[in-house]
Amino acid sequence: MRRLIVNNIVSQDGFHADENGNPVVPAMDEFFDAYNLERIRSAGTVLLGRTSFDGFSSYRPFVADAPQDPAHRALSQDNRVVGRIDNRIPEVVVSDTLKVATAPLGFHHHRHRPR
């Protein structure tokens, strides 16, 4: 049996997003980046919702090969390695709204059906 590792971004008061639905609200720093790298290195598959998938798929592929830029923490060595791993690891997206035709090549789609 495989392990399931859950990694949620949650503020201290328990919120997952701001009033506009943006999940990247908490202040993230190099310690968060190092922890995130540790988590993805131990993963065999990434399970995402559509909103997270949309955000990551528009960000991580470009960070992976971007030159390191000390002025932009998003282009740190840890974030670039996370991007490289994310580009090759299988992803499963659970969504009722994502259209399969818009998914990138190699994308694994799983449609959640409520009981």
Q: Which of 14-23, 85-94, 99-108 has the lowest mean pLDDT?
A: 99-108
Write down the pLDDT at residue 100: 67
Distance CA(9)–CA(37), nearest Å, equals 14
Q: Which residue would you say has higher pLDDT here, 80 or 68?
A: 80
Q: Cα(93)–Cα(47) distance, rounded to whole angstroms?
A: 6
What does the mean pLDDT of the chain come to? 77
Model confidence band, residue 38 (pLDDT cutoffs 50, 70, 90):
very high
55: Cα within 13 Å, side-chain hemisphere:
9
